[in-house]
Structure 1
Amino acid sequence: MDWLRTALNYSKEFAEVAVFGFLFAGFLQAVVRPTVVARYLSGYSVWRANAIGATVGFFTPLCCCTAIPTALALWRGGSRPGPACAFLIATPWFNWYGLVALWIFLGWRMALVVAGSGVFIAFLTGMIIDWQSPNERAPRPLPTEVPETVCTTTSCSVKSGSACCSTVDTDGSGEFFDFSNPWQKLQMAGTNAWALARELLPWIAAGILIGATVKTWLPTAWISALETRSWLTPVLALVLATLLYADSLGSLPLVNALLQKGLGSGNGMILLIAGVGTNLATLGPIYREMGTRVAILYACCVMILAFLLGILWNLVL
């Protein structure tokens, strides 16, 4: 009964943000122009471009999988890999939808820790990638048919097709949003919302079941024993985050359960950020599109920075 009650509570918490969140996320994906974002990232200095890459995802509420095609679109439209990687790291947590979910599940303080850490790690990773792997190719303009974000059968793939999910800058206005053809945009929003729900609901359901299991049956003494070894727990959290991949939203119930069992805040942050940043679904497209050097730098920077920052948060909080 305790397990079922916990699972129902997690489901209720997701329901508070899911319905409106999917609809509004679908609408934003229909009106935001990725080509304009790409031009902004390629036209600024390295510092400013990576800062924008780490924060612009606030207006494009994407999970870790659905952020991949958008990040690749940014890379194809720009001249540097760093801002695209920064976008990919920070977006799953630094967006209005992710922040609301973090707040509901983990509280406002942990929400700020995770989102702030994500932006910081994303910015530094982007800077290091651009410093160590300067890209000398000329910017390639995006095709009129942009990669889809959530209209494919799997959001971790990149498919060139009709622009059913987002809009391109066909009029050359350079505006971030396109509100022309409102009825068409509403139809696109509905299609995007339904596709996003189909992609995320299995992960969310799995996260609810795993989180309820951990919260109900994992002995608190085990977590307390690990926390007494301050150097070991972040290592285990990093290994677990790398091996056990889950969607960003789907991992929230598990981290919630572990935090209630006594897991340190920094270790919870490691599970969330490293979990969505160092998995094959993310590293595979980076390797194919940007090369081996960038993929290795990306993975190493996320793991090392998340580990160091996790130790700091364990000491401070």
Structure 2
Amino acid sequence: MDWLRTALNYSKEFAEVAVFGFLFAGFLQAVVRPTVVARYLSGYSVWRANAIGATVGFFTPLCCCTAIPTALALWRGGSRPGPACAFLIATPWFNWYGLVALWIFLGWQMALVVAGSGVFIAFLTGMIIDWQSPNERAPRPLPTDVPETVCTTTSCSVKSGSACCSTVDTDGSGEFFDFSHLWQKLQMAGTNAWALARELLPWIAAGILIGATVKTWLPTAWISALEIRGWLTPVLALVLATLLYADSLGSLPLVNALLQKGLGPGNGMILLIAGVGSNIATLGPIYREMGTRVAILYACCVMTLALLLGILWNLFL
């Protein structure tokens, strides 16, 4: 009975975010021009380009299959690899509705920790990649007319060009948003929202069931025994995040349950975000387009920085 009550409570908390969140995210996906994002991130100084790459990637509602071609468009247009990687790291983690879900499930303090850590890791990883690859440039120019891909998932499990992704031709405008043909955009927003819900709901349902199981039956003493091991616990969290990489929203009930059992906040942050550094769907294109060196730096920086930040947050929170 306690398990069922916990699962229903998690479902209610998700419903508070999902209905409006999916609709608004679908609308943003319909009006944001990914090619303009790419244009804004090209040609700036190292610091500015990576800062913009991390923050625009974080606040722009693009999923992996949309972020990957957008980031590669930056690279192919002669951009340094750092801003493209910063954009790619920050984007799949949390959009604004994910931040709201974080706030509801984990509280405002943990939400800020995870969000701030995500943007910081993206920025610093981009900077390190640029420092270590100062002369890296793509051999191919960016085409003048690049189609914009509007994808309706936040998971990396869907390949670009699948049924969930539609292509919208750009008119060459430099505006970040395109509100022309508003009625068509609203229809597209509804389609995007429904496809987004279909893609995420299995992950969310699995997360709710696992989270309810952990919260109901996992002995608190087990988590307490792990926490007293100091630095070993963040390492175990990093390994677990690497092995169990999944959609971030679907991971929230599990992390919520573990935090209530006594897991350190830094370890919870690692579980949520470290998996992006070993995600094959992202590392594969980076390896093919930017080379082995950049791919290794990308993975090592994300996982190392997540581990160090997790240890830091455990000490101060």
Q: Which runs of 5+ in 1 are unaligned?
A: none
The two structures, once aligned, show a CA RMSD in angstroms of 2.9
Contact 1:145 1:162 in 2 (8 A): no
Contact 2:6 2:212 in 1 (8 A): yes
In structure 2, distance between residues paired with 1:142 and 1:192: 27
* Alignment CA distance shift 1:75-1:31 (3 Å): farther
* Alignment CA distance shift 1:215-1:62 (3 Å): farther
* Alignment CA distance shift 1:74-1:197 (3 Å): farther
Contact 1:35 1:168 in 2 (8 A): no
SS of corresponding position for 1:107 = helix
Q: CA deviation at 1:95?
A: 2.9
Aligned residues between the structures: 317
Q: CA deviation at 1:186?
A: 1.4
The C-alpha deviation readout for 1:73-132, integer Å capped at 9, x for no partner, is 444445122122212222344531111011011000000000001111110001111222
Contact 1:237 1:270 in 2 (8 A): yes
* Alignment CA distance shift 1:66-1:42 (3 Å): closer
What TM-score, normalized to structure 2?
Answer: 0.89
* Alignment CA distance shift 1:121-1:172 (3 Å): same
Q: CA deviation at 1:136?
A: 4.2
* Alignment CA distance shift 1:67-1:162 (3 Å): closer
Contact 2:17 2:100 in 1 (8 A): yes
The C-alpha deviation readout for 1:138-183, integer Å capped at 9, x for no partner, is 6856558757756589963786769996786844331111111111
SS of corresponding position for 1:66 = helix
Deviates more, 1:53-62 or 1:145-154: 145-154
**Identity across matched positions, percent:** 96
Deviates more, 1:87-96 or 1:222-231: 87-96
Q: CA deviation at 1:306?
A: 0.7
The C-alpha deviation readout for 1:12-54, integer Å capped at 9, x for no partner, is 1111111111111111111111111111111211111110111
Contact 2:14 2:101 in 1 (8 A): yes
Contact 1:33 1:176 in 2 (8 A): yes
Please name the residue that 2:265 is paired with. 265
Contact 1:64 1:247 in 2 (8 A): no
What TM-score, normalized to structure 1?
Answer: 0.89
* Alignment CA distance shift 1:104-1:293 (3 Å): same
The C-alpha deviation readout for 1:58-82, integer Å capped at 9, x for no partner, is 4423455664444344444451221
Deviates more, 1:53-62 or 1:96-105: 53-62
SS of corresponding position for 1:250 = helix
Contact 1:92 1:98 in 2 (8 A): no
In structure 1, distance between residues paired with 2:65 and 2:258: 24
Please name the residue that 2:208 is paired with. 208
Contact 1:125 1:301 in 2 (8 A): yes
Contact 1:63 1:249 in 2 (8 A): no
Deviates more, 1:30-39 or 1:139-148: 139-148
Contact 2:65 2:156 in 1 (8 A): yes
Q: Which runs of 5+ in 2 are unaligned?
A: none
Contact 1:164 1:188 in 2 (8 A): no
